[in-house]
Each structure stands twice: as C-alpha cells, then as structure tokens.
Structure 1
Amino acid sequence: MSIVEAIIFGIVQGITEFLPVSSTAHIVITQLVFGYTFPGLAFEIYLHIASVLAVILFFRKDLWNVITGFFGYLSNRSEENRVSFFFGLYIIIATFITGGFGYFLSDFVADSIKTPAFIAGALTVTGFALIFIERFHKYGNRSEKDMTFLDSIIVGLGQTLAVIPGISRSGSTLVVSLLLGLKRETAVRYSFLLAIPVILGSSVLALDELSTGFINQIGVMPLIVSFVITFIFSWIGIVWLIEFIKRSKLVYFAVYCFVVAALVFFMLDPGTVMDVE
C-alpha cells in the first residue's frame, strides 16, 4: 500500500465511522476505486481500533464518570451515582443484545445482499430514516435519568441492523434513540459510548486476522500513517456530528446517502458480490 492510499483510506474510515452514512460502504467503494483488496479483515480492524481510540479520548470524562459512577453505586448505592450506574447498565444491555443478535444474523447475511444494488438500497433506507427523524418526528426531552431498560433493548436491536451492508451503526442508534424520545445530546452521547464496546468487541473477536503477514502486506509506514490519519479524522467526524445534531441538520446526511447510493448503483455492476465482511 502506498502512503497516498494509506492517507485516503484513513480519511475515509475516520470521517465516515461515526457519521450516519455507513463507513463499510465507503471503504468498499474506496477499494473498488483504487482496485485494492485488503488481505482479509486485518486492515479494517486496525483502522477501527484507531477510530475507537478517538472516541475513548474524546469522551474520556463521560466514560470515566460512567465507570466510576457504575462501580460507586454498586459499593454504596449512593443517589449521586444512580444515574451513571443505570446509564452504564443500559450501555451493557444494548451491547449484549447487539453482539448476540449480530452474531447469529451475520450467518444469515447471504452474499446475495452484498451487492452494489442492495447496498445502494440500504443507504437509501438510511437516508429516508434520517429525513423522517429530522422532518416528521418531534424531538424528545428525555435525558439519561429518564431512560429505561426497554430503551436499551430497542436501541440494541436497532444497532444490530448495522450487520446489513449499507446500514450505518451510528445512524441506526441515533434514529432509534430519537424515536424513543431521547433528547439530541443524550442520543448522541449514548450512540458514541455504545460504539466503544461494540467496536472493541468485534475487533477482539477478529484478532486472529492480525499477523506478521498482514504487516508485511500493508507495510509498516502505511500502517502508521493510516492509523494516525484515521484517528485525526475520526475526531473530526465526532465533532462534526455533534455540531450537526445541535443544529438539527440530519437531512444533509440523508441527501449525502442518496447521492452515494446513486453512485454505487449506477457506477458499479449491480450484480457484483462485494466483500463487506
């Protein structure tokens, strides 16, 4: 892999990982544009680790408050830690639901839906969902203290939809959270904190993909460059999404999904099976 390719892949992964536009679809499109095929899933896992590191550092205070509050409540049942405890519990519940259902559903994600036509359709569905939540649904005002176990179960199920190629993980969790009446700030915070265990968990399960051969195939310098670039642009993507949510501009992401869907459908062979594992 050249340094230029490493930079481009890092930018694409970083900027799209947390935006509701499906990073998987973008990585696949980028591979096709450059005629480059990754050696297994190792490189994608590697870039995901850079993305999740950006989330951990950006939300380090929130993460620390949830962790300390969670264990603090377990030890003394203090009222001041109650909200953090249950918020952490809701993250755990949603993660287990996503992991459990995602594991079983992944076996049923047949090659027939890993085509440009299907991915274009999934991106279009994402776009319409974003338009609906933006234009036709009244935003709620429920915060962390108002969340329930049912919320975490439904969001976990919604997040599971990301196993479908072209469905955005962040987009599905945001849409479902907002539909449940969570206020925008809470929905964004919940979505980002949910990304940490989900991405780390999927990365750990695929660690066997990482090997010396992977390093030799990609190259040491491209790996370093792509990791740094992914981290930087993941941070930019996080900040960007938070600002967009504050201004209620999800419709722009919807338009973008439609544009990408059209490009995928009309510029790629609709019947080609795409490697989007």
Structure 2
Amino acid sequence: MTLFEAIVFGIVQGITEFLPISSTAHIVITQMVFGYTFPGLAFEIFLHLASVLAVIIYFWKDLWRVIQGFFRFITKRQKEDKTEFYFGVYILVATCITGVLGKILSDVTADVMKTPPFIAGALLFTGFALIFIERYHKTGNKTEETMTFWDSVLIGLGQTLAVFPGISRSGATLVVSLLAGLNRDTAVRYSFLLAIPVILGSTVLAIDDLSESMIAYIGPLNLIVSFVVTFIFSLLGIIWLISFLKQSKLIYFAVYCFVVAILVYVFLDASMIMEV
C-alpha cells in the first residue's frame, strides 16, 4: 500500500462512517478500485477505532454523564440519575442484539456480501429507507426520558442490518429510531453513542486478524497515517452531519446512495474480487 492510498482509505472511512451512506460499502469499493483484498477485518476495524475515538472526544460530556448516572443510580438509587441509567441500559441492549445477530448473519452471508450487485442492492435499500423516513413518516417526540426498552430492541435489530455492506449503521439506527418515535435530536445522540460499544466490541472480535503479516502488508507508517486521517475526517464528519441534519434533509443522502449504487453495479465487476 502506498502513502497516497493510505490517505485515501482514511478519508473514505472518516467521511462515510457517520453519514448514512455505509462506510463498509465505501471501504470495500475502495479496495476494489485499488485492487486490494485484506485478510479478515482487522484493517477495517483499525480504521473504525479512529472513528470511534472521534465520537468519544466529541461526545465526551454526554458519554461521561451517561456513565456517571448509570453507576450512581446502581449504587445510590437517586431519582435524578434514573434517565441516564436507563439510557445506558438501552445502549447495552441494542449493542447485545447487534453483536449476537450480527455475528450470525455475517457467518451465514459472508460469501455474497462483498460483491458489487449485493452492495448496489443494499445501497438502494438504504436510499429508499431514508426517503421513506423523510417523506412519509411523521417525526415523533420521544426523548431519553420517554424512550422504552422495546425501542432499544427495535433499534438494535435495525442496527444489525449494517452487517451488510451498503446498509449504513448510522442510517439504520437513525431510520429505526425515528420509526420508533424518537425525536431527531435524541435519535442522533443515541446513534452516535451506540457506535462506541458496537465498534469496540467488533475490535475485540477481530483482534486475531491483526497479525504481523497484515502490518507488513500495509506498512506501519501507512497504518498510522490512515488512522490519523480517519480520525480527523471522522471528527469533521460528525460536526458536519449534526449541522446538516438541523438544516436540511436525509433525502440528499438517499440520492447519493442511488448514484453510487448505479456506479457500483455498472462499473465494478464481481470478477474484480477474484482478481485481487
């Protein structure tokens, strides 16, 4: 891998991780374009770690408040900590559902998930879901105080679909959160905080793939550069998305998904995977 390619991978991962356009699909597409195939998921997870670091830094006050409230309620049972405690529980519930079902789905469908037709179809699905939630569903008014256990179960099931390249994790959690009746601010905050345990859990599962041969294949300097670039662009992506959602529509992301799906289906041949 060249330094330029490491920078491109970092930019692609950073920009797409939290936008509802599927970072996994874009990383797979970038691999196809450059002619790479990485053993296991270690490199993808490595880049995801940079993205989750950006989330932790940006939302550190929210994260710390949830953690403090969660453990204070367990030890002291103070009423003012009840909301943060249950919000933490809902994050854990959705994470557990995603972890278990995601592992099962990825094992069953691993052979077909990273083909251009599959990615194109998944991107189309993401686009239609974004249009539906934007045009045909009335935004709810549930907040952290009023969301329920079953909301977290539903969102966890939705997030599980992100195991398929082309189904955006952030898009899935946003769409299902809004379907469950959460208001937009709560849905966005829940989606971002939910990314932290999901990505950290994926990192633990992929730790065996991080080998000396993989590091040598990519190059230590390239790994560092891609990590730093991913972190910077993830932070910029978070800031931009939050600002964008306050001012504009999810439908623009849907149009982008449609365009990329067509380009992937037309210009990327499945045989490219066999050649790399």
SS of alignment partner, residue 259 of structure 2 = helix
Q: Distance in 1 between matches of 2:42 and 2:274?
A: 17
Structure 1 contact 162–172 (Cα < 8 Å) conserved = yes
Q: Distance in 2 between matches of 1:28 and 1:78?
A: 47
The residue that corresponds to 2:196 in the other structure is 196
Extract unaligned runs of 5+ from structure 2.
Answer: none
Aligned length: 275
Structure 1 contact 39–217 (Cα < 8 Å) conserved = no
Say if 1:78 and 1:239 are closer, same or farther in 2 by CA, change over 3 A: same
Deviation at 1:209, TM superposition (A): 1.2
Deviations along 1:106-150, one digit per CA (max 9) or x if unpaired, are 222152343211210110010011011111111112110011000
Pairs within 5 Å for 1:87-106:
87-106=87-106
Structure 1 contact 116–273 (Cα < 8 Å) conserved = no
Say if 1:250 and 1:274 are closer, same or farther in 2 by CA, change over 3 A: farther
Deviations along 1:28-87, one digit per CA (max 9) or x if unpaired, are 111111222324322212111111111111110000000000001111111110100000
RMSD: 1.6
Query: Are residues 1:264 and 2:251 paired?
Result: no
SS of alignment partner, residue 85 of structure 2 = helix
The residue that corresponds to 2:234 in the other structure is 234
Q: Distance in 2 between matches of 1:110 and 1:6?
A: 25
Q: Distance in 2 between matches of 1:16 and 1:215?
A: 24
Report the TM-score, using the length of structure 2 for normalisation. 0.95
Structure 1 contact 139–184 (Cα < 8 Å) conserved = yes
Q: Distance in 1 between matches of 2:64 and 2:204?
A: 22
Structure 2 contact 32–272 (Cα < 8 Å) conserved = no
Query: Are residues 1:55 and 2:55 paired?
Result: yes
Deviations along 1:82-101, one digit per CA (max 9) or x if unpaired, are 10000000000010111111
The residue that corresponds to 1:211 in the other structure is 211
The residue that corresponds to 1:35 in the other structure is 35
Q: Distance in 1 between matches of 2:37 and 2:164?
A: 21
The residue that corresponds to 1:151 in the other structure is 151
Report the TM-score, using the length of structure 1 for normalisation. 0.95
Q: What amino acid maps onto 1:200 in structure 2?
A: L
Q: Distance in 2 between matches of 1:46 and 1:263?
A: 27
SS of alignment partner, residue 146 of structure 1 = coil
Q: What amino acid maps onto 1:148 in structure 2?
A: T
Q: Distance in 2 between matches of 1:57 and 1:274?
A: 39
Q: Segments of 4+ in structure 1 off by > 3 A?
A: 270-275
Extract unaligned runs of 5+ from structure 1.
Answer: none
Q: Distance in 2 between matches of 1:178 and 1:210?
A: 37
Percent identity over the alignment? 70
Deviations along 1:235-255, one digit per CA (max 9) or x if unpaired, are 111112111221241111000
